[in-house]
Amino acid sequence: MAALSLTLAACGDSDGDTETDSTGGASFTTTMTSTPATMGATTMGMGATDPTSAGTGGQTSTPTSAGPTTGQVEPDCVDNDGDDYGEGPDCLGPDCNDNDVTIWEGCGVCEEDADGDGYGNGDSCLGTDCDDNNPDVWEGCMGCEDNDGDGYGPGCDPGSDCDDDNALAWDTCDTCMDTDGDGFWVGCNMLPDGQDADDCDDDDNNNWTADGCASCVDGDGDDFWVGCDSYDNDKPGPDCADDNPMVGGDDEVELCDGLPQNCANEIDPLPADEMCPPPGNMDPPNVNPIDGWLCEPPMPGVDGCKIKTCLDQFFDVDDDYTNGCECEGTSRNFSLAECGGEMPGYLGTLSEGQEIFGEDLVTGVIPEIDNGKGNGAEDWFWVEFPEINAQGDRPAAGVIKIDFEINQNNDYRFEVYGSCPAVAWDGIAEVCTPDPLGNALEWWFWDDWNFSDDSSYQNNVNWPNTVYVRVFRVQNEDTCSQYRLRVRRESD
């Protein structure tokens, strides 16, 4: 095939045929030169004449290699960047980037990506590639990047790491987990030190070994567990007696109820003062803190606490320990527990025409039935009637009267003594208004020999300057009924 060569010759050139432009000026000579067939596109040359070119007075250019070359494109190919790719039937093909002579295809992929990992050199790459011959490496080419120390990571020989912050997983990130947060894992590439197998129950932080999952139970339903790998508020334990719902992780508060509350299954082993009162009934009032309780459960499972002793002059008369010793006896600030002349039992000194009653005298309570002089169920008082305080001489020194101002339910009586060692009524005269047992409801000493024709009232007896009064209960035991004395010295 002959190649067409167009040569532009300078004006006046003697080589070639000369045609004169109709406008005048330069003349153009066209020379047709035949050359051997060569693959490539036709080119147009302008400028100085190549001395080695074929023909005379012009320049001929031939391509030196196959492929697209810079030069004149076919008239039916639109090619902005001159790479012979563009739009038109005479183009070598379409051009995805007609502004870059080096690119005509592959614009949507990484332009320079030898290992096909998407990293390389070009605008469409995911980033640069420090090793474009290894699809697993595009960064960290200086060495293995292993944040978690498991040997896996970018640039590492074993391979990449799906989670470089978790040394337990490098290709099991979807399954490696510790859901219950107990520190024991499941589904990982490797297990932590001290863990020999996967967590047997990753939803239970109290168990992770096979033994724990199989044996962790609460057999007696007391919310204390046994057989678990660990215990906490969710599963307290271990239960030292998992067949006894009264006992949990250790010896419980011992109750007086005929049941064991300890790991040794002992029944009510402590002193009653340590088991009573039961929880929820703390500190009933006025119970003696030492030897104040009894433990006598009527049957297993029933509370057996009872008050044994109360503080001095307090009494439990209703048999209900929850309100303690609710009955307050006669105050020992205003009475005596035995016959004597101490001030707490002193009622006063009466001259003729005086009396003591009402709130000037103590209101007393003795819940227990009389158990004899000196045995405790009694109140003692003493009062003075000086003979010299009479308005006249004997036998006109006045009338002494002692009786009850208050005697609820008629429960109380009294005795009068001339001295503490003496016998009741000895040297004092007879009892006035006795009960059937001879106990006094009132007593008079009338200093008048004309009082009665009865000779028993005309005896010459000593004037009772000081008398001692013993008060006691005769009926309705264990009640809190009250009494109050009245003492008078009237004129005769």
Structural domains of the chain sorted by starting position, each given as residue range(s) with its CATH number in brackets:
1-72 (no CATH), 251-328 (no CATH), 343-490 (2.60.120)
Low-confidence winner among 124-138, 246-260, 272-286, 326-340 (lowest mean pLDDT): 124-138
Binned at pLDDT 50, 70 and 90, residue 281 comes out as confident
- 8-state DSSP, 50: P
The pLDDT value given to residue 8: 34
Asked if the peptide bond before residue 277 counts as cis, ω within 30 degrees of 0, the response is: yes
Question: How many C-beta atoms lie closer than 10 Å to residue 409's C-beta?
Answer: 12
Query: Does the pLDDT of residue 206 top 80, yes or no?
Result: yes
Burial classification of residue 255, based on how many CB atoms lie within 10 Å of its CB (0-12 exposed, 13-18 middle, 19 or more buried): buried
Q: Higher pLDDT residue, 49 or 401?
A: 401
Low-confidence winner among 36-45, 160-169, 444-453 (lowest mean pLDDT): 36-45
Q: Higher pLDDT residue, 327 or 55?
A: 327
Over residues 301-316, the mean pLDDT reads: 96
Binned at pLDDT 50, 70 and 90, residue 112 comes out as confident
Query: Does the pLDDT of residue 420 top 60, yes or no?
Result: yes
Alpha carbons 62 and 338: distance in angstroms, whole number: 152
Question: How many C-beta atoms lie closer than 10 Å to residue 126's C-beta?
Answer: 12
Largest Cα span, the chain: 203
Q: Higher pLDDT residue, 471 or 47?
A: 471
Residue-wise pLDDT tens digits, 170-180: 999 999 999 98
Alpha carbons 467 and 339: distance in angstroms, whole number: 10
User: Which of 423, 440, 419, 418 is CA-nearest to residue 431?
Assistant: 440
The pLDDT value given to residue 132: 79
Binned at pLDDT 50, 70 and 90, residue 479 comes out as very high
Alpha carbons 212 and 225: distance in angstroms, whole number: 11
Low-confidence winner among 37-41, 154-158, 483-487 (lowest mean pLDDT): 37-41
Q: Which residues, including other chains, have CB under 8 Å from residue 86's CB and lie 6 or more apart?
A: 73, 77, 78, 79, 80, 94, 95, 98
Alpha carbons 466 and 417: distance in angstroms, whole number: 9
Query: Does the pLDDT of residue 218 top 60, yes or no?
Result: yes
Q: pTM of this prediction?
A: 0.53
Query: Does the pLDDT of residue 33 top 60, yes or no?
Result: no
Whether the Cβ atoms of residue 335 and residue 345 lie closer than 8 Å to each other = yes
The token duo for 92 is 């070598």
With a pLDDT cut of 90, the percent of the chain lying above it is 44
Burial classification of residue 399, based on how many CB atoms lie within 10 Å of its CB (0-12 exposed, 13-18 middle, 19 or more buried): middle
Binned at pLDDT 50, 70 and 90, residue 251 comes out as confident
User: Which of 419, 467, 421 is CA-nearest to residue 444?
Assistant: 467
Q: Which residues, including other chains, have CB under 8 Å from residue 385's CB and lie 6 or more apart?
A: 349, 350, 398, 400, 463, 464, 465, 466, 467, 489
The token duo for 193 is 């030190």
Residue-wise pLDDT tens digits, 135-180: 887 776 667 888 888 889 887 888 888 988 898 889 999 999 999 8
The pLDDT value given to residue 326: 97
